[in-house]
């Protein structure tokens, strides 16, 4: 049987990045010290072999401020309507 992800894989996804938005920062191992920017302290200062990080790539809200998740973004009204319509189409 095919297993897409080994159950022993250790990872985290709690570190947002602003500096690596374009191009986006891909998931990486912590076999070496990370080059990712530190937005929420404390950040790692050493390596953790075998441990993966899936970075949260910041979006830019309509107010110009970064936000790692859409629910924390201030969105333009037109975009809110598009997202709402999309979600309602899926729900029906």
Q: What is the pLDDT of residues 1-54, one digit of tens each?
A: 445 566 678 888 888 898 998 888 999 999 999 999 998 888 888 999 999 999
- CA pair distance 53, 48, nearest whole angstrom: 10
- pLDDT, residue 92, reads 57
Q: Tell me phi and psi for residue 67, to 5 degrees.
A: -150, 125
- pLDDT, residue 5, reads 60
- CA pair distance 73, 61, nearest whole angstrom: 5
For residue 59, give every residue at least 6 positions away whose Cβ sits within 8 Å of its Cβ, in sequence order, or none. Answer: 66, 67, 68, 69, 70, 73
- pLDDT, residue 31, reads 95
pTM of this prediction? 0.65
């Amino acid at each position: 049987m095919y297993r897409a992800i080994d159950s022993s894989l250790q990872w985290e996804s709690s570190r947002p990045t602003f500096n690596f938005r374009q191009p986006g920062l891909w998931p990486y191992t912590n076999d070496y010290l990370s080059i990712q920017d530190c937005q929420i302290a404390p950040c790692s200062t050493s390596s953790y072999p075998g441990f993966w990080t899936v970075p949260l790539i910041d979006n830019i809200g309509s107010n110009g401020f970064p936000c790692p998740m859409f629910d924390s973004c201030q969105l333009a009204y037109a975009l809110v309507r598009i997202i709402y319509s999309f979600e309602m189409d899926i729900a029906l």
